[in-house]
Amino acid sequence: MPEIDKLPIEETLEDSPQTRSLLGVFEEDTAAISSYFSQLFKAMQRIYDAQNELSAATHLTSKLLKDYEKQRFPLGGEDEVMSSTLQQFAKVIDELSSCHAVLSTQLADAMMFPITQFQERDLRGRRQQCIVDHDTAVNRYSRLSKRKENEKVKNEVMEDVYTSRKKQHETIMHYFASLNMLQYKKKIALLEPLLGYMQAQISFFKLGSENLTQQWEEFLTNIGTSVQNVRREMGSDAEATEQTIQDLKAASDPLYMPDPDPNKIPVNRNLTRKAGYLNTRYKTGLVSSTWEHQYFFTQGGNLMSQLRGDVAGGLVMDIDNCSVMAVDCDDRRFCFQITAFDGKKAVILQAESRKDCEEWIATINNISKRIYLSENPEEIAARVNQSALEAVTPSPSFQQRNESFRPSTQGRPKTGRSGSQCSAGSESPALSSLSLDLLVAPDTPIQFDIISPVSEEHTSPAKSGAQGRRTNPFGESGGSKSEESEDSILHQLFIVRFLGSMEVKATESADVIYETMRQILAARAIHNIFRMTESHLLVTCECLKLIDPQTQVTRLRFLLSTVVLCASHQENKRLFGFVLKTAGGREDGRPVTVCYVFESNNDGEKICDSVGLAKQIALHSEMDRNTTQKQRELDKAKEKQQEELHKQKQIEKDLEEQSRLIAASSRPGQPAADGQILVLSNSQSEDSDAGEEGQKKGESEA
């Protein structure tokens, strides 16, 4: 017998649209089986009820058996063994249709009882109300308010979700198991009544049936063996299915809770593919919105969604080089927002638990870096995340930073937050020790346009060419690949609006950024300047780029080594700024220090942390390059020393050869000329002096 098609019991808890679609195929097959067996039962009932209609009933049975291969069963429709077997049964039933007598008792026990039991016990409805109850409980849990949250109501709702999910899981697992068993019972219920019918006919027709018995005895024996084999296979599969159900129940018990304990089920941050149900928010008016429960999954660099009952999913957005972050919604928990690379499209989604929310954010971050295109995406994602963790120590919270640098005297002004700085110098002193004139010079001009004075006067041709270059978000620029985009393990994009820039004096404290923000905002209010240039701030391990969101042209490019300070505003967290220090920016050779101020859709502290992370990673990379360079220099020195030693050995070898020649020329009977001895002596002396000088030189270099 061919392999039996089965429903995957392991996927019952996920309850995905694909699993439901497959379940619909099995239910359609069950309906086809019920329809077919209903006709077969009526045919056999006619044999049992009307002895006078025996010939017509057997003819109809034969016809139905012949039509089996024409039936369109969704499952097992191409079973050639079963079709061939039924064709042979149809042939012998045609031969027996001329017989008019039948033993009612034998037919009732051997033919009618199995098919009647199969139709009444196995072909009955199995749809339960638990699926509707579970959807109602999950919908009620999703509508829990975060602000006005009653602990008793929350516990009742969570218990309701747990009970309904567990009941649904157990019911569907048994339902799937019964549908799988139906594939075996279908064959048994089809073959066993026919086998009983044939045995009753053979026993009834003793006289004149020897030829018929000899002709079909081996065939019927094989059919009986096949039925027993199918019955044994069904029994073993039923035991294995029951064991699988018990194992899945024990393993899935922690998953029934909507918000599991992260200590028991840790967050996997190395995923490059994920699927599951999320709530997505749709705006229905200017201030009103609604949430819809959909099935979301990632496919390459795309985020897809699929409604229940749909055959395939639809594209939501392209998540290559996108930005994702957790957001705080007034009416929902565990929400996160995905913003496209161009900033034109953003979606807000709600996960079921904190763990699910963090896994979705980590997965989309990994996909945005295009890690999924590599051969081992999860291994590379783990290595990138580990490198980022080793490169920088997690910074303390905003409140801890303020408290750690707050002066002890109550009347003293608040100090800047050095925790969010990415400064190359020492820690920031208190604001009381610096005057405003030491931070920003009086009457300093403010630049409200995106053009930087430093870039206008002191930008090299290579850098000027880089500013006019079109930036490709996939890591390519023009016709050549961008090395800084490919080699950089950090690639984060933020939507910012340029407020202004001005030259500053001090770079040791974040107070210079706060004072610059104050003066720029005050100047904008005085002069009624409300227009702001929106750009994309790209943070990599080599530089900061301001990119035009429409043309993708790089407006400004700052080397990361020139960024000496970065901080966000203490009260308005959307404001942040950074200080650039360019050596030799003036005509007299003095450095130029400029502070740039921006407004962002994100938390400015996160952008500063991203810049700090980039500087830490760049510092580690620079240290690795210096170590490699030093190792190369040591290797070259060793090679040079080896060459000098080789020359010294060659000189010593030549001296030995000359000594041997002198000794041979001074033997008795072979007098050497005085000139020849003198030449050899001079040559020996010169070679000896050269050898000593080479040896001293090699020792000094070593």
Task: Please write the tens of the pLDDT for every residue from 488-509.
Answer: 577 788 888 888 898 887 777 8
Distance CA 1, CA 305 (A): 40
pLDDT confidence bin for 280, thresholds 50/70/90: very high
- Find, among 330, 325, 242, 237, the residue nearest to 287 by Cα: 330
Q: In the chain, what percentage of residues exceed pLDDT 70?
A: 74
Q: Confirm if 308 and 17 have CB atoms less than 8 A apart.
A: yes
Average pLDDT over residues 642-660: 88
Distance CA 146, CA 153 (A): 12
Task: Please write the tens of the pLDDT for every residue from 26-49.
Answer: 888 888 888 888 898 888 887 778
How would CATH label the architecture of 491-619?
A: Roll (2.30)
Q: What are phi and psi of 69, to 5 degrees?
A: -70, -15
Q: Which of 40-49, 92-101, 275-284 has the lowest mean pLDDT?
A: 92-101
Average pLDDT over residues 12-34: 84
Instruction: Give the type of residue at 465.
Output: G
The predicted structure's pLDDT at residue 419:
35
pTM of the entire predicted model: 0.42
Q: Is the pLDDT assigned to residue 348 strictly greater than 90?
A: yes
CATH topology (fold) of 17-70+79-211: Substrate Binding Domain Of Dnak; Chain:A; Domain 2 (1.20.1270)
Average pLDDT over residues 53-57: 74
Distance (Å) of CA 318 to CA 80, 280, 283, 321, 551: 47, 16, 21, 9, 19
Which letter, b or e, does each residue of 401-425 get, where b requires 16 or more Cβ atoms within 10 Å of its Cβ?
Answer: bbeebeeeeeeeeebbbbbbbbbee
Q: Is the pLDDT assigned to residue 684 strictly greater than 70?
A: no
Distance CA 310, CA 18 (A): 9
The predicted structure's pLDDT at residue 100:
54
- Domains 275-386 and 491-619 agree in fold: yes
- Find, among 582, 542, 546, 540, the residue nearest to 469 by Cα: 546
Nearest-5° Cα angle at 336, 335 to 339: 150
Domain range 275-386, CATH class: mainly beta
pLDDT confidence bin for 296, thresholds 50/70/90: very high
The predicted structure's pLDDT at residue 124:
67
Domain ranges of the chain: 17-70+79-211, 275-386, 491-619
Side-chain-side CA neighbours of residue 28 (13 Å): 13
Q: Which residues contact 548 (CB under 8 A, 6 or more apart)?
A: 535, 536, 554, 555
Task: Please write the tens of the pLDDT for every residue from 177-196.
Answer: 888 888 888 888 888 888 88
Distance CA 531, CA 340 (A): 24
The top-scoring range by mean pLDDT among 181-190, 275-284, 440-449, 687-696 is 275-284
pLDDT confidence bin for 137, thresholds 50/70/90: confident
Pick the more confident residue, 299 or 384.
299
Write down the mean pLDDT value for the chain. Answer: 75
Task: Please write the tens of the pLDDT for every residue from 521-542.
Answer: 888 777 767 677 788 888 888 8
Q: In the chain, what percentage of residues exceed pLDDT 90?
A: 9
pLDDT confidence bin for 677, thresholds 50/70/90: very low
